[in-house]
Structure 1
Amino acid sequence: MPEIFEPAKLGPLTLRNRIIKAATFEGRTPDALVSDDLIEFHRAVAAGGAAMTTVAYCAVAPEGRTERRQIYMRPEAAPGLAKLAEAVHAEGAAISAQIGHAGPVADARSNGAPALAASRRLSPLTGRFIQQATEDDIARITAAHADAAELAADSGFDAVELHFGHNYLVSSFLSPKLNKRRDGWGGSVANRAKIARRIAEAVRTRVGDRIAVTAKLNMEDGVRGGLTIDDSLQVARLLESDGHLDALQLTAGSSLLNPMYLFRGEAPVKEFADAFPQPLRTGLRLFGRFFLHSYPYQPGYLQESAKLFRRELSMPLILLGGITDYAAMSRAMDDGFDFVAMGRALLMEPDLVKRIEQDKSTVSQCIHCNRCMPTIYRRTRCVLVES
């Protein structure tokens, strides 16, 4: 069993330990560019002991943002990205950019461009129709991932994480519920997985071994008719056989249809409602509980599902979900996972990793109330601490 605080290889990288700050949208890019506030956010995580911090979310195209204030990868963003990478490196940590296309989760009104998905459908988030991605769209977005990865590498980043989860664009192709196509991009698992495989290949071809390339993959959508574990296992085997990825980070849930399936714990319906103007505020207060389901929290809550992938795959796997103390980290290592990823706990306590290393009995103060989630619309933070 590897020790969580020993150095570990991730593709061409050697990380100082096996703990990664998961991608959680920071809400600190008001001009769709790196800000000093964003730099300090990730510098604090790096200084707090994490081996690598993940910048989220970096869209590969303007219409691929969930809303207009998110970074999209373009030459104008490079100076800020370089400054951010330098600040993280100065604290002894590596830095990764989560790159992807929000697809049906994108806010067409905010972006001023139509949202795209595997198939045309009405968006429950905006009330607008989402357009079916054309062959030209797929080719353009595939190339845009390669461009984004190259920009990240040129800006000093150590890795990119390809976003294949949460019913963003690639995930919408993987989901039978969202992908109703009758062409070569729909139907069988192999067809639905083609866009993920092509993007991974395009990125690896462009960056080679300059940086690590990982992907975040849904194990299941948590939605009736959506991606299942059996189908996701087939996708994971295909990605492994292609050999373009250095690791998979396993996740779950649908930002479009069931976001709380990933964020176990309390469902902050009132706080979400308060983050929006009228009449949406009233609508969320009245009907939000039908969208924001509540799932009980327990340590390592995705581990049992992820163990199915560990048994089937030989490639490195990153375990996410309820990893907040040394005991949970050790269980992950016992079960053969190569890295663990932490999100909400580091939002509350960016120095948690260093304190756990110094005292293995350290307990996270995060209570999984999820009231941090609605803060993404202004500035992501833990509402229980001063920030």
Structure 2
Amino acid sequence: MPDAGVPDVFSPVDLGPVRLRNRTVKAATFEGRTPHGVVTDELIAYHRAPAAGGVGLTTVAYLAVSPDGRTHREQIVVGEDTLPGLARLAEEIHATGAKVGGQVGHAGPVANGRSNGVHGIAASPMPSPLSMQMVRSATEKDLTRVTKAYVDTARTLVRAGFDVLELHMAHNYLISSFLAPALNRRSDRWGGPLERRARLARQVARVVREEVGDAVAVTAKTSLSDGYKGGFTLEMGIELAQMLEADGHLDALQLSGGSSLMNPMYLFRGDTPVKEFAATMPTVVRWGMRSPMGKGFLKHYPFEEGYFRDKALQVRAAVDMPLMLLGGINTADTMQQAMADGFQFVAMGRALLREPDLVNRLQAGEVRRGICIHCNRCMPTIYSGTQCPEWQPDQVIPVPVLR
């Protein structure tokens, strides 16, 4: 039982203007279920499972604000042509009693320019390990266009019935590429000290809030550390959180870490499935991943429960705004400890992929912990439809898909 004065993680809570039935969030994890860039029955079923399984909020990942902002060509771009499917997805999630969020962003240097048919953009030029092309430096015209695209995307998702917009400011996507010193070598108003490198993040948060008002909640995913030399650091993360809090445009921050380009395992922790990843790649990339350099890219970080807690506590001490704790949350004790630490929400990824009904079972007292073994073999499945290799069909609550 929670201590007196500490909220129960399974009790209702307000996220800005949105009432959630509890304080658990299905984190945005790439689904691999949009082969033609539109909502599919498979994508809906993927999110209905944890929604029916008890989470307060499930987050669709990843919704691009523009075609060049896709991670690759199969990704959803929010617009008039994808609006009907997004509306159907929101309707079906609402039918379970959960709320639905959309992770909104521009992939920047994480975009595969060869797949998208257009070179990616970033704070500064850099080679792309994904497309084997050069990523060009974003111009003033690019940044004006992308900022407007965030506004248009926000407007469309409100029309679709989404409850929460999560602005992606981490993992070296476009906004994060401006925040990381190693990726932002600019000398104009977008580069230099953190106050200037954070200009795009703050600008996007402001225009999105001005567009949506209190129709939906607006949050951001920010980094505790990129996990590589020259990347975004915890000290920068604390300062950014203070800037975003002072601006007053966001309802909460979700605290993440790692870099999709430089150090992806910093986010996941646990086993490193190099062979499984290599097997999904083209021949040349497969050879590269099996080389010493490729193995160095997928670093090994031993798993520990709540592995971002210590860093997140330092952000918690520096700001008053609501925070979501992410990273290796698998037990009822960790979830309740997060409440005692002053976090308002807990975000879960792999644990819910393994057991979509885990929240219901934890709340009912049937179990005290999830059974995810953190093998990370789910990661290479993003190319064929993200799934847990240990998953058993009888674990999922059968939920009919509405038509």
Task: Quickly name the TM-score band, shorter chain normalised.
Answer: over 0.9
1:215-265 per-residue CA deviation (whole Å, 9 max, x = no partner) reads 000111101011111112111111110000000000000001000000111
Structure 2 match to 1:377: 383
Superposed CA RMSD in Å reads 0.9
Q: Is 1:211 the counterpart of 2:213 in the alignment?
A: no
Structure 1 match to 2:49: 44
Q: Is 1:343 the counterpart of 2:344 in the alignment?
A: no
For 1:341 and 1:299, the matched residues in 2 are separated by 13
Structure 1 match to 2:371: 365
Q: SS at 2:81's partner residue?
A: helix
Q: Is 1:220 the counterpart of 2:230 in the alignment?
A: no
Structure 1 match to 2:174: 169
Q: 2:311 aligns with which of 305, 309, 312?
A: 305
For 2:284 and 2:137, the matched residues in 1 are separated by 29
TM-superposed CA distance for 1:285, in Å, is 1.7
| Code of the aligned partner of 1:314 | D
Structure 2 match to 1:292: 298
Alpha carbons 2:333, 2:368 under 8 Å: kept? no
Q: 1:326 aligns with which of 332, 345, 350?
A: 332
User: Aligned runs of 1:1-387 on 2, under 5 Å?
Assistant: 1-287=6-292, 288-359=294-365, 361-386=367-392
For 2:306 and 2:368, the matched residues in 1 are separated by 17
For 1:88 and 1:38, the matched residues in 2 are separated by 11
For 2:317 and 2:147, the matched residues in 1 are separated by 30
TM-superposed CA distance for 1:386, in Å, is 4.3
For 1:277 and 1:189, the matched residues in 2 are separated by 38
| Code of the aligned partner of 1:63 | D
Structure 1: which 4+ aligned runs deviate by more than 4 Å?
none
| Code of the aligned partner of 1:381 | Q
TM-superposed CA distance for 1:364, in Å, is 0.9
| Code of the aligned partner of 2:323 | L
For 1:185 and 1:250, the matched residues in 2 are separated by 23
Q: SS at 2:218's partner residue?
A: strand
- Tell me the TM-score normalized by structure 1: 0.99
Alpha carbons 2:316, 2:323 under 8 Å: kept? yes
TM-superposed CA distance for 1:360, in Å, is 6.3
| Code of the aligned partner of 2:304 | Q
- Tell me the TM-score normalized by structure 2: 0.95
Q: How many residues align?
A: 387
Alpha carbons 1:326, 1:360 under 8 Å: kept? no
Q: SS at 1:57's partner residue?
A: strand
Identity %: 55
For 2:279 and 2:351, the matched residues in 1 are separated by 23
Q: SS at 1:279's partner residue?
A: helix
| Code of the aligned partner of 1:225 | G
For 1:292 and 1:37, the matched residues in 2 are separated by 29
For 1:281 and 1:167, the matched residues in 2 are separated by 23
For 2:319 and 2:130, the matched residues in 1 are separated by 35
| Code of the aligned partner of 2:385 | R
For 1:333 and 1:232, the matched residues in 2 are separated by 21
| Code of the aligned partner of 1:224 | K
For 2:204 and 2:213, the matched residues in 1 are separated by 14
TM-superposed CA distance for 1:193, in Å, is 0.3
Instruction: Classify 1:318/1:360 alpha carbon distance in 2 versus 1 (closer, same or farther; 3 Å).
Output: farther
For 2:154 and 2:59, the matched residues in 1 are separated by 14
For 2:301 and 2:360, the matched residues in 1 are separated by 30
Alpha carbons 1:58, 1:71 under 8 Å: kept? yes
Q: SS at 2:82's partner residue?
A: helix
TM-superposed CA distance for 1:128, in Å, is 1.3
| Code of the aligned partner of 1:45 | P
TM-superposed CA distance for 1:126, in Å, is 2.8
Structure 1 match to 2:401: none
Moved more, 206-215 or 279-288: 279-288
For 2:243 and 2:24, the matched residues in 1 are separated by 26
Q: SS at 1:91's partner residue?
A: coil
Alpha carbons 1:117, 1:130 under 8 Å: kept? yes
| Code of the aligned partner of 2:166 | E
For 2:220 and 2:355, the matched residues in 1 are separated by 26
| Code of the aligned partner of 2:168 | H
For 2:153 and 2:123, the matched residues in 1 are separated by 21
| Code of the aligned partner of 2:82 | A
1:348-376 per-residue CA deviation (whole Å, 9 max, x = no partner) reads 11000000001164321100010100111
Q: SS at 2:178's partner residue?
A: helix
For 1:326 and 1:177, the matched residues in 2 are separated by 38
